Amino acid sequence: MPLIDSKALLIHALKNKYAVGAFNANNMEVAQAIIEAAELEKSPVIVQISQGAIKYAGIKCISSIVKTLAKESSVPVVCHLDHGVDYSVVVKALKAGFTSLMFDGSSLSFEENVKITKELARMAHAAGIPLEAEIGRVPDSEKGPLTLEEMKKYYTTPEEAKEFFEKTNVDSLAVSVGSAHRMKVQSAELDIDRIYEISSMVNAPLVLHGASGVKDEHVVRAIKAGITKVNFATELNKAFTNSLKEYFSQHPEIVDVRKYGESARKNVVNTVREKIQLLNSNNKADDVLKYISDNKFFESDKNLNEIVE
Ligand SMILES: [Zn+2]
Give tens-digit pLDDT for 101-120: 999 999 999 999 999 999 99
CA angle 269, 275, 279 (to 5 degrees): 140
3-state secondary structure of 152: helix
- Residue list, CB under 5 A from ion ligand 1: 209
List of residues 6+ apart from 242 with CB closer than 8 A: 267
| Ligand 1: centre distance to CA 139 (Å) | 9
Measured in Å, residue 232 CA sits from the centre of ligand 1 at 8
Give 91's pLDDT tier (boundaries 50, 70, 90): very high
At position 223, the amino acid (one-letter code) is: I
Region 121-140 average pLDDT: 96
Q: Tell me if 288 sits within 8 A of 12, measured CB to CB.
A: yes
In tens, the pLDDT along 291-300 reads 999 998 887 6
* 226 Cα to the center of ligand 1, angstroms: 18
pLDDT per residue as tens digits for the range 249-281: 999 999 999 999 999 999 999 999 999 999 999
Q: Which CATH class is domain 6-308?
A: alpha beta
> 186-214 pLDDT, tens per residue?
999 999 999 999 999 999 999 999 999 99
Q: Residue 294, class by beta-carbon neighbours within 10 Å (0-12 exposed, 13-18 middle, 19+ buried)?
A: exposed
Show which residues are catalytic.
Answer: 82
Q: How far away, in angstroms, is 182 Cα from ligand 1 center?
A: 9
pLDDT digits (tens, 9 = 90+) for 28-59: 999 999 999 999 999 999 999 999 999 999 99
Residue spans per domain, the chain: 6-308
C-alpha of residue 290 to centroid of ligand 1, in Å: 29
Whole-number Cα distances in Å, 83 to 182, 238, 296: 14, 20, 26
Burial letters 117-150, b for 16+ CB under 10 A, else e: bbebbebbbbbbbbbbbbbbbbbebeeeebeeee
pLDDT one-digit tens code per residue, 4-24? 999 999 999 999 999 999 999
Residue 152 has pLDDT above 60, yes or no: yes
